[in-house]
Chains A and B, each alone.
Chain A
Amino acid sequence: MGSEITAADSASARSEILRRIRAAKDGVSDADAAAAAWSNVARDYRRENEPGSEAVLEMLEDRLRDYDAHVARASRGEIASTVARMLAVRGKRRMLVPPGIAPEWLPAGVEFVVDEGMTATELDGFDGVMTGSTVAIAETGTVVLQNVPGQGRRALSLVPDYHLCLVNAGDVVKTVPAAMDRLEPTAELPTTFFSGPSATADIEMTRIKGVHGPRHLDIILIA
C-alpha cells in the first residue's frame, strides 16, 4: 500500500473519470437534456392501483402466506385483542415498540418497551418487535417500513427474532409502481422492504426461513 489517498487525489480522480465519460460519448450532457430524454422512456407496464380492495387484500394475504408469514384481519376495534391473541400463540411477553406507536394497539398483560436508542445487544434481548407500516404491495407480498413515528429506526425491526407488523387496508396497493408512487414524497427516509421472514436459498437452492433477520413474521391487516 503506497501513501494515503488525499483530497487532491480524489478531486483529480473525479475530474479524470468525468473527462473519460465525456470523451466516450463525444460531449457533455446537461441536466435539462437528461430530464427531457428521461421523460421519453417508454413505460408501458402496469401501474394498477386498487388500494384496499378485497381482491388486493386477498392477494396480499395469499402472497404473505406463501412466504410462511401468519396473517390475520382485524377491525379498528379489535386490534389490541388480535395483537394479544397472536402474541399468546407465539409465546411472546416482552415486546419492543417504536416511539409513536398508537397506544390503543397495545393490549394489557404484555410488556411493551419503547425503543429510545437502545444498543443492538439490548434489542437482541427482547422477544420481538411490533410496528406499523407505510405501504404494502399485494402482487409481491411486500410490506414497506420507513423511519417515522410508529415504525421506528431500521435496527428495531431487524435485530429481534420476531416481528408483528400492522398494515392498514387502505395502504395496500396492487403493484410495485403504485407503491413507489406513494413512497416518492418520503423517498429520502431510511426505508426497508420486507417480503416474508428472513430467508436464504444459498444451500442447494432450498428456501430456508430465517437467517439473520426476524425468523418469524406475523401480519395484522386492519380492515
Chain B
Amino acid sequence: MKGMVLDPKTSPVFPMAAKTALEDTQMRKNVRHATDVIQAKRARVVGEMPDWQQLREAGKQIRQHTMEHLDVYLEQFEANCTRAGGVVHWARDAEEARKIVTGLVKASGSDEVIKIKSMTTEEIHLNQALEKAGIHAYETDLAELIIQLGQDQPSHIVVPALHKNRQQIREIFQRTMNLPDLGESPQDLADAARMFLREKFLRVKTGVSGANFLIAETGGVCIVESEGNGRMCLTLPETLITIAGIDKVVPRFQDLEVLLQLLPRSATGERMNPYNSIWTGVQPGDGPRTFHLVLMDNARTKILADEEGRQTLNCIRCGACQNVCPVYRQTGGQAYGSVYAGPIGAILTPQLQEMHHAQSLPYASSLCGACYEVCPVKINIPEVLIHLRSKVVEQNTAGIKGLFDFEAGAMSAMAMIFKSERRFRAAQRMGRMAETPLVRKDGRGEGWISWLPGMLGGWTQVRDLQEMPKETFRDWWEKRGKDGK
C-alpha cells in the first residue's frame, strides 16, 4: 500500500485486496486487538446510559429531518457564518474543492499548513494536491502523523493507524524523526509526537480542518477531538480553512445535546472525548483573523436523490460499525480501497464514487446486522447494502455484457423457476439426480456434499452442504391425510 492513495478508481477489487490482507497476520492481530478494546469500552459507556435508545432515535430523526430540509439549513448556515465574519465557498466536486483550498492557502501567503485529521480531506486527496502546488501539509493527529510519516494509508475512520502496533510506530518515528534511542511505550511515542509538532503549531500560519457539525442556527462549527492538536490548529494560525461535506449541517445548537452524547460513546468509548471546540466566524482577539469554510457536494446530492440510499448521509463518522464488523475485523480497512472502510464504507464508497468503481464493496458483508445495532443514528446498513447489490445487478444487466453475466443469468433463471410450480418441482427432481454422484454418507447415514463444480465451488470451499431430502415438504404435505396426520 506504500505511497499509493486509497482511491476506488485505481484500487484492486475487494475480494483480491482482502486475500492479500488476510495473509498479513500481524496486521490482523493489531486490528483484532484494537477493535476488541474499543468495542468493550463502547459497550461499557453505552450500557450506563438508560436513555441510549431514545438518544439514537432522536439522532436519527435529527439527521433525517436535516436531509429533508438541507437547502434551507445550508442557506441559513451560510448567512449566519458570513454575518459572523466567515467566508463561505461552495464546491461541486473534489476537484473544485481542491482548487479552492489550494488557492486559499496560497492567498494566505503560506507554503505549509497544519492539519487536523479530516476524512473529507482524505476523501478528496487534498494533501497530494497541496504538495503538487508546492504546499506542505503537516498532519497533527497522532495517528495521521504515523500514517503520513510511514507513507501509509488510513484504515479506520476514527483511529486511522489502528493496524500498526507500538513497535511498528517506533520504527517509523525513529527513522523519520531521527530519534535512534526512542522507547516503545505509548507514552514515549506520544512525547516524541508532542516535541515534533510543537514547533509547527507555534510557527505555521495557516490551518486546515474538517468539521463534525455545522450549526445552521448560529453559523458555528463544532469539532471533537482528543489530543489538543485540533485546538492548536483552530486557535493559533492566522488563517483557518475548514472543509465540510454538505451533509455535516445540523439545524440548531440544541441538536448538539444529542449528537455530542452519541458520537464520543460510539466512536472511542468515552463519556466525552477530551476536547470539543465550537466557534462562530471570526472573534477578534481569539483565534484566526481569517476564516474560510468550503461546503462540498462531491456526489452527496446524488445520494440524497436515491430514496433508499439517502440514510447513508445521516452518518456522523463514529466508526462503531467498523469495530463490530466480522469482515472488517478480518481484512482491516485498506482492503476496501477507499478511505471509508467497513460497513459504512461499503455503502458510502459506491455511492460517492459512482457504482462502477466499487462494484464489489456491497458484497463485502455477511449482512449479520451488527453494524445497524451499534449505529448511533440507526442507519440500516444491511438494507442499503441489499439496495446497492440490486443496483449492481441492474447495472450489469443493462448493456450487452448483461446477456453473458452469470449472476444476472442465474438470478433471472431463479425468478423463472420460482414463478411456476411445475418448473419448481422439476428443478427439485433434477437437483436430487444431479447431486447423487457427489454425496458422501457420514457415520450417522446423513449425506454431505463437500465439493461442487465450477462457480458453485465457492460455497463448498469452506463448508459442507447437506444433501437434498428424499422427500420434499410439498410431497410430505400432499401425502399427509386431511386430518393432518
Contact = CB atoms under 8 A, between A and B. Distances in A.
B272 A193 contact: yes
A45 B286 contact: no
B279 A191 contact: yes
Nearest to A41: B61
Interface string A97-134: 00000000000000000000100110010000000000
In which size bucket is the chain B interface? 35 or more
Interface in A137-184: 137, 139-142, 147, 153-155, 158-159, 176-177, 179-181, 183-184
Given A17-B297, A28-B71, A38-B252, A188 B287 contact: no
20 contacts: A1-B132, A9-B96, A25-B70, A38-B65, A42-B57, A43-B258, A47-B257, A153-B235, A155-B286, A184-B253, A187-B218, A188-B84, A195-B275, A204-B30, A204-B186, A205-B37, A208-B187, A211-B227, A212-B197, A212-B232
Nearest to B70: A21
B301 A17 contact: yes
Given A203-B186, A203-B189, A121 B68 contact: no
A187 B193 contact: no
B274 interface: yes
Interface stretch (B158-166, B344-352, B370-378, B382-390): B158-166
Given A191-B277, A198-B226, A13 B91 contact: yes
A84 B190 CA distance: 31
Contact of B305 (A13, A24, A142): A24
Contacts of B70: 21, 25, 29
A195 B231 contact: no
Nearest to B161: A202
Interface of A: 1-2, 4-5, 9-10, 13-14, 16-18, 20-25, 28-31, 33-34, 37-38, 41-47, 63, 67, 117, 120-121, 124, 137, 139-142, 147, 153-155, 158-159, 176-177, 179-181, 183-184, 187-206, 208, 210-214
A38 B215 CA distance: 14
Given A18-B71, A147-B283, A195-B273, A46 B51 contact: yes
Contacts of A202: 141-143, 146, 159, 161-162, 227
Given A31-B72, A41-B62, A195-B273, A120 B227 contact: no
Contacts of B235: 153-155, 158
Nearest to B265: A140
A177 B58 contact: no
Give the top 4 A-B pairs by smallest Cβ distance, nearest first: A213-B228, A24-B305, A20-B301, A212-B228
Interface string B201-219: 1100000000000010111
Interface of B: 30, 33-34, 37-38, 41, 50-51, 54-55, 57-58, 61-62, 65, 68-76, 84, 89-92, 96, 99-100, 102-103, 129, 132-133, 140-143, 146, 159, 161-162, 165-166, 169, 186-187, 189-190, 193-194, 197-198, 201-202, 215, 217-220, 226-229, 231-232, 234-236, 246, 251-254, 256-258, 260-261, 264, 268, 270-280, 283, 285-287, 295, 297, 301-302, 304-305
Given A1-B132, A17-B92, A205-B162, 11 more contacts: A2-B99, A17-B74, A20-B297, A20-B301, A21-B74, A21-B301, A67-B274, A158-B228, A188-B220, A193-B277, A208-B187
Given A13-B92, A45-B54, A203-B189, A31 B76 contact: yes
Nearest to A43: B58
Contacts of B58: 41-45
Contacts of B286: 147, 153-155, 190
Nearest to A185: B253
A15 B50 CA distance: 44
Nearest to B275: A194
Contacts of B103: 4-5
A119 B154 CA distance: 34
A37 B65 contact: yes
Nearest to A215: B194
A214 B286 CA distance: 18
A130 B56 CA distance: 37
Given A17-B301, A205-B38, A120 B236 contact: yes
A214 B92 CA distance: 40
B69 A34 contact: yes
Contacts of A194: 274-275
A13 B129 CA distance: 20
Contacts of A121: 202
Given A13-B90, A45-B58, A192 B33 contact: no
Nearest to A28: B71
A199 B304 CA distance: 37
Nearest to B273: A195
Given A188-B220, A195-B272, A212-B229, A203 B75 contact: no
Given A25-B68, A211-B228, A201 B236 contact: no
Contacts of B100: 5, 10
B228 A137 contact: no
A140 B41 CA distance: 14
A206 B89 CA distance: 39
Nearest to B101: A5
A29 B71 contact: yes
Contacts of B190: 200, 203, 208, 210-211
Contact of A17 (B217, B264, B295): B295
Among A124, A179, A188, residue most surrounded by chain B Cβ atoms (within 10 Å): A188
Nearest to B310: A24
B61 A42 contact: yes
A199 B65 contact: no
Contacts of A14: 90
A153 to B, nearest CB: 4
A6 B255 CA distance: 35
Contacts of B38: 205
Contact of A38 (B89, B202, B251, B260): B251
Contacts of A158: 228, 231-232, 235
Contact of A212 (B37, B146, B227, B268): B227
Given A44-B51, A180-B256, A193 B276 contact: yes
Contact of A192 (B91, B161, B256, B276): B276
Nearest to B89: A10
Nearest to B277: A192
Contacts of B62: 41
A159 B217 CA distance: 31
